[in-house]
Amino acid sequence: MQRVTHMTNIKIAPSILAADFARLDDEIKDVLDAGADYIHLDVMDGQFVPNLSMGVPVVRSIRNAFPEAFLDVHLMIVQPRNMVEAFARAGASHITVHLEADTPENIAQALRIARDHGVRTGLSLKPATPASALEGWLEDLDMVLVMTVEPGFGAQRFMTDQLDKVRAVRRMLDAAHPACDVEVDGGIKPDTAPAAIAAGANVLVAGSAVFGSGDYAAVIKQLRGE
């Protein structure tokens, strides 16, 4: 039988890091109306990455304003286990932590806390961390996030050398846990998305490509490959 891979399997997660924060309510409404599947929230602590962004109160306000939205929270913070419960209570649908952000025991605990609160979980790798670091982690995850830029800032250039890692992660998951999603984040635009999708990514984060454009719906369609 022919294997049918449908375009709509691709999920688009606009990162509000690139939105106009003075008009955040309208920005989120507009990307959701334009067909965004998830809202991606980049939480930065000035330690794990050299930048500060948003925290728990922002997630809580967005949850209150958008009760149905899927809030994809990307924690770029050290010792995430100390904060996971607060983000879960604030209304995160999904929480991704970085494997590099603490000891394996503490990262495992962070993921456990999120799951105990009914939140989906993801594990992310910085560009220098190999796919093999995921061995032993995959079975319980809902998503693996492969960073395609050095985390910390929007509007950077897509690192094509991360495509091999996306392929390797997808291969590992096909063997160990096929239902797990592969997300890519950083430099995703209509011209870089096809290679990421071909390598096995099915959730695409896009900040500047979406919010920097005049037509959110058109860009979201292009990113999906439609």
Site for ligand DX5 in 115-174 (CB under 6 A): 149, 151-152, 154-156
94 binds Zn ion (CB under 5 A): no
Nearest approach in angstroms of CB 101 to Zn ion is: 14
For ligand DX5, the closer CB: 112 or 127: 127
Q: Starting from the edge strand earliest in sequence, which strands make up the sheet with 11-14, in order?
A: 11-14, 203-206, 181-185, 143-147, 120-125, 94-98, 71-76, 39-44
142 is catalytic: no
The residue annotated as part of the active site, out of 42, 72, 142, 181, is 42
Count of CB atoms situated within 10 Å of the CB of 197: 22
Site for Zn ion in 170-189 (CB under 5 A): 185
For Zn ion, the closer CB: 176 or 208: 208
For ligand DX5, the closer CB: 200 or 207: 207
By CB under 5 A, the count of residues binding Zn ion is 3
Distance CA 194, CA 212 (A): 19
Nearest approach in angstroms of CB 67 to ligand DX5 is: 23
For ligand DX5, the closer CB: 4 or 10: 10
Q: Which of 27, 42, 142, 181 binds ligand DX5 (CB under 6 A)?
A: 42
Name the residue with tokens 């890692």.
Answer: 165
Site for ligand DX5 in 47-76 (CB under 6 A): 74
206 binds ligand DX5 (CB under 6 A): yes
CB 156 within 8 A of CB 190: no
Q: Can you name the residues that pair with 42 across neighbouring β-strands?
A: 74
Q: Which of 19, 90, 205, 220 binds ligand DX5 (CB under 6 A)?
A: 205
209 binds ligand DX5 (CB under 6 A): yes
Q: Which of 11, 12, 37, 42 binds Zn ion (CB under 5 A)?
A: 42
140 is catalytic: no
72 binds Zn ion (CB under 5 A): no
Contact residues for ligand DX5, defined by CB under 6 A:
15, 17-18, 40, 42, 74, 149, 151-152, 154-156, 185-188, 205-209
Query: What residues act catalytically?
Result: 42, 185
